[in-house]
Amino acid sequence: MLNWGNHAVHRSGVNAYSDGQFYSRRPVTADVLPSTVTRSYWTMKRWIVLPLSIGVVAMVYSCVTLRLSAEREYAAYDQLRAMGATGDDWISFTELITNRPPVVQIDIPASIPQGKSLALIRDMPNLEYVGLAYNKFSDSELDQLAGLSLHSIRFEGAFPSDSDANRLSRFRGLRFLTIPELNLSDESLAELRSVLPQCRVSVSVADESKREAEQ
């Protein structure tokens, strides 16, 4: 042991005495290395491996969810087309995962039962445009349509009439709304545009047969 004033140091380097205190100076030996490696392993696992594993699981789950949603969408689309509906799809990066382009628009004729068609379009989350040729809608059916992420709706039947203008105020997320020319009076059309200021409300021109029937 070396004596330097009030400092004493063992040559072994195991303990040191300084200012009345003993300090451990345990050298790094073979028995210390396993615990150091273990701590490093768990640190790496905690901050690198586990987050990466969670990310991979989340990505796989998202891909499976997208694929199942696409299968339901096309099952509904095929049923509607078999009953006379027409539609179109659009190119999207999700097609790389689902192998199916999203269906973005559909026109539904009055020959398809109304309850059936509205139930099927619930399974088509990518729809942006819907054309409907029905003559009336209940409040619950309008609420269902309003709950979809639609950009545009085209009514082609007797709906809406003058008494329905205020009922369409629930479609505040629409960008475009098209209604038949002879359905609304000028006053009701102005009321509809006032309750949907963010929506472009346009009127489709009626064919001659309908004009004659109305006259």
Q: What is the mean pLDDT of residues 105-125?
A: 95
Q: Look at 68 and 121; give whichever has higher pLDDT.
A: 121
pLDDT at 21 over 60: no
pLDDT at 118 over 70: yes
Domain spans of the chain, in order of start? 74-214
Place of tokens 């059916």: 141
pLDDT at 61 over 60: yes
pTM: 0.68
Give long-range contacts, CB 8 A cutoff, 24+ apart: 197-200.
198/172, 198/174, 199/171, 199/172, 199/174, 199/175, 200/175, 200/176
pLDDT at 147 over 60: yes
What is the tens place of the pLDDT at every residue in 85-111? 999 887 776 666 767 788 899 999 999
Domain topology for 74-214: 3.80.10
- Report CA torsion sign: 108, 112, 115, 121: negative
pLDDT at 117 over 90: yes
What is the tens place of the pLDDT at every residue in 26-58? 554 445 445 665 666 667 666 777 777 788 888
